[in-house]
Amino acid sequence: MGFFDGPEVSGERGPERPEFVDLGPPGPRYEDDGPPADRYLPTVLPRVAQVAEGPRVRVVFTGWEVWPEEVTLCLHVFWRRRRTDEVYGDAWYARPGTGAMRVGLRPADGERPVGVREYGTDPGGAFHRPVRLLLSAVPEEPLALVLEWPDEGIAETVALLDTSGLGEAARRVVEIWPEGSGG
């Protein structure tokens, strides 16, 4: 008898046959697509640094997820106090002109902004939430994270991010479904 073998329960119906859909060949990628997570396992470069703090909130840089041609900047937000009206879904992250958190990137030695966009749907927990920001290219220079969150008492703050090793990490990404490996 195997580990998962057990006595059959009388009257138990077998499962219905499910329908399946196959992962198709790679197609065009669009600006609002996230990283190619169905086809690659990213290289993860852990880094831990608190990048901002307010009286009731901390924002921590936790590292990079490196894809073949893109990079995800990983942040975690921790609250000591939360609203009870369930507004803390995505309402805390908004456009300029509000009191919500605003995040930007620029080269550490310059003013030219680097384009990032949030993606992902992980809601986190009652008092924390992961934030994933996708960069459309692997940076070749150090970056500065610029963060401001008026509603949480955080004035504009600049934190230098360690980008060392990102190029090498992009070469170590694991392709799960190489082209031509049918299924």
Per residue of the chain (183 residues), what is the pLDDT tens digit? 788 887 766 666 767 888 999 888 887 776 667 888 899 999 999 999 999 999 999 999 999 999 999 999 999 999 998 777 655 544 455 555 678 888 999 999 887 788 887 877 677 888 999 999 999 889 988 999 999 999 899 999 999 999 999 999 999 999 998 875 555
Q: Determine contact, residues 48/61, Cβ cutoff 8 Å.
A: yes
| Spatial distance between the Cα atoms of 89 and 106, rounded to a whole number of angstroms | 27
Which burial class, exposed, middle or buried, applies to 150 when counting CB atoms under 10 A from its CB (0-12, 13-18, 19+)? middle
Residue 19 CA to its chain's centroid (Å)? 30
Give per-residue burial for 60-88: e unless 16+ CB within 10 Å, then b. bbbbbbbbeebbbbbbbbbbeeeeeeeeb
Residue 89: predicted pLDDT:
46
Residue 178: predicted pLDDT:
84
Residue 88: predicted pLDDT:
52
Domains and CATH numbers, the chain: 40-175 (2.60.40)
Q: Find the radius of gyration of the CA atoms of the chain.
A: 21
Q: Kindly give the pairing relationship between strand 116-119 and strand 128-135.
A: antiparallel
| pTM (predicted TM-score) | 0.81
